[in-house]
Amino acid sequence: MGKRLKGFDVTVKDVSRAYGSFKALDDVSIEIRKGEFFSLLGPSGCGKTTLLRIIAGFDSPDNGVVLLDGKDILPLPPDKRQVNTVFQSYALFPHLSVYENVAFPLRLRKVPAAKLDAKVRDYLHLVQLDNHMDKKPSMLSGGQKQRVAIARALINEPSVLLLDEPLSALDAKLRQNLLVELDHLHDQIGITFIYVTHDQSEALSVSDRIAVMNQGKVLQIGTPYEIYESPATDFVARFIGETNLFPAVVKQCVPYEDYYMTTLDIPALGTEIKVTDYDNLAVGQHVSFTVRPEKLKITGHQPTRVGKDINLFRGIVEEPIYSGFQSKYYVSLENGTVIKVIQQHANYMDEGPDIDWKDQVFVSWSAEDGYIVEVVDS
């Protein structure tokens, strides 16, 4: 189907929603661009579904506005919004066949029979369900149900498609495949996708931009790359991927090429480390320091050449976890602090990984690979 639809931008401004005294959404503001694949990412109960329901029209905020293509949609009932939803549980109509499920929106609008039939077949073909249209939803597999839900949500040609954890009911392998399909579908039809998930790898792999939420608040909005490499808060750093995160105090901050070479005192590591940062931080300021496990190098012998901006630690491997393409090591440093290291196995290994349980190892990383998460001084 060569069809391209028109996507709209969605603006959520100062939206709050409380259940009793519990704030499910606390002053949320998000601007979603036309045609974007935008993800709402956060742990269970952080208010993702609540926000989606407000955009779809099943719930209304206590205050704030929601604009679709610049127009306030809050006064409109769900059936009058150019927005369609793929529900977490799919919500297929059990009394209707796959064909009739997809035809449902068109029958409501009394689309003439011939046009209806052509369009339903078209959309069933789009989601590769041509051979299953006479089945009832109960006879379909999880992945097929999900496709029916997508075809049904798209047939009204919405400007925005809302997807509430559409893959969470499926097994990991299928999830990967369907995620790629979803991404293709998005590229193909070009409307705005708002995708809710609590799975950070899902969000990172397909989104144009991500909003990370926690406890009803938006913590950071950015591209997957920005969110992974430059987390705005401790929570984001911990929630997205794996990381080593330590509280630290700024000891020194000197200009170095086009950024600043910062020396941090990290009590947990029992020493000072070096890290580069774009900001000139005040000495004595409390910050969080983070370094991703895959940025650490692990060796069985002491590295011979250690540059000025390399941080080097000695430790014992407490727990090697081999998972084929990589190994993860929990390394206990000399002062007892445990640090996570991930080593990629890019080359063929005859004898398995050369680092084993209880081995003495050296862990190092360059100042450029660490990152300072700013913390408001307490």
Partner 1 sequence: MNSHIQEKRGRRLGITYSAPMGLWLTFFFLVPLCIIILYSFLKKGLYGGVEWEFTLTAYRQMLNPNFMRVFLRTLWVAALSTVITITLALPCGYAMARSRHQVMWLALVIIPFWTNSLIRIYAWIAILSSEGFVNEALKALGVIGESLPLIYNQGAVITVLIYMYIPFAILPLFTTIDKFDFQLLEAARDLGASKPESIFKVMIPNIRSGIITAVIFTFIPIFGAYTVPLLVGGKDSYMIGNIIVDQVTKTRNWPLASAFSLVITVVSTIGVIWMMTSTASERARLKAPAQVVDANGGIT
The residues that touch partner 1, with contacts defined as CB under 8 A, are 56-58, 77-79, 83-85, 87, 89, 91-97, 99-100, 104-105, 108-109, 134, 136, 152-153, 156
Closest distance of CB 84 from partner 1, Å = 6
Q: Find the shortest distance in angstroms from Cβ 48 to Mg ion.
A: 5
Q: Which does 46 bind (CB under 5 to 8 A by kind): Mg ion, partner 1, ligand ATP, none?
A: ligand ATP
Phi, psi (5° rounding) for residue 265? -95, 120
Stretch that binds Mg ion, among 22-30, 47-55, 64-72, 217-225 (CB under 5 A): 47-55
Task: State in angstroms the smallest separation of the CB of 169 from ligand ATP.
Answer: 12
Query: According to the binding rule CB under 6 A, does residue 47 interact with ligand ATP?
Result: yes
Single out the segment in contact with ligand ATP by CB under 6 A; choices: 39-47, 78-86, 199-207, 265-273.
39-47
C-beta closer to partner 1: residue 103 or 182: 103
Does residue 19 interact with ligand ATP by CB under 6 A? yes
Q: Does 304 bind ligand ATP (CB under 6 A)?
A: no
- Residue closer to partner 1, measured from CB, 79 or 257: 79
Pick from 39, 50, 262, 343: which binds ligand ATP (CB under 6 A)?
50
The site for ligand ATP (CB under 6 A) is made up of 19, 24, 42, 44-50, 198
